[in-house]
Amino acid sequence: MFETILIAFIVAKLKGYNIKPIFKSWEIYPIIIFELFYVFMQISIFLGNYDFIVYSSIYKKLYLYSFIFLIIKHKQYISAIIGSVCIFIGTILNNIAITTNNGKMPVFPTLSYYTGYATKEAFDKIKDIHVLGNEATKLKFLTDIFDVGYSIISIGDILIRLFAFIIIYSSIKYVNKIQRT
């Protein structure tokens, strides 16, 4: 998720917006705190500690809720609706993949094997919704196939992350507009 916010900052900068003003109010900091916790969880996984994975669904919900402060502060109601539609569609796509694959989300690690993020043994250790994908996987294009080395995500996950991008980018744009007037 860190990369989503980073991409929002980069796109805003490329569009000529000043990023610094977004940090002048506290509303961005709950999101940053959740991002730091996410980085901590990823480092734990790299070190072979999978204890935090059981809390990942709670974490994801709290992370998304942390955007409410930014939405209200910067009046990003239309952006929030558009982002929520992305979350809705992404969740439906993930649920289709899970339902089609007997209640499990198949994962197809590639780069993560080289970085050490994923191991075949880890899938045996971790008893959650994720399983190692194979030739029997149905609707593979909806499963976790996009491997960035420290996370493996699906099309649905990308749509869900689009919410964060939209809110961060729109908030930066809004703050810059306010400063110009």
Q: Where do we find the tokens 């029997």?
A: 136
Examine the pLDDT at 52 and tell me if it is beyond 70.
yes
> Could you tell me the pLDDT band of residue 129, with boundaries at 50, 70 and 90?
confident
Q: Which residues pair with 105 in a beta bridge?
A: 130
Residue 53: pLDDT band by 50, 70, 90 thresholds?
A: confident
* CA pair distance 89, 35, nearest whole angstrom: 23
Q: Which residue in the block uniquely carries the two structure tokens 């969740």?
A: 91
Could you read off the pLDDT of 142-156 as tens digits, one per residue? Answer: 999 999 888 889 999
For position 100, what pLDDT does the model report?
96
Name the residue range of residue 171's domain: 2-180
Q: What are the tens digits of pLDDT across the range 60-104?
A: 888 889 999 999 999 999 999 999 999 999 999 999 999 999 999
Residues 6+ apart with CB under 8 A from 42: 117, 150, 151
| Average pLDDT over every residue of 18-39 | 91
Domain count of the fold of the chain: 1
Query: What are the φ and ψ backbone dihedral angles of 116, each rounded to 5 degrees?
Result: 90, 0
Closest CA to 83 of 99, 95, 61, 67: 67
Report the percentage of the chain scoring pLDDT > 70: 98
pTM for this prediction:
0.84
**For the chain, how far is it from start to end, CA to CA, in angstroms?**
32
DSSP-based three-state secondary structure for 105: strand
Are 46 and 117 in contact, with CB atoms under 8 Å apart?
A: yes
- Report the chain's mean pLDDT, rounded to a whole number: 89
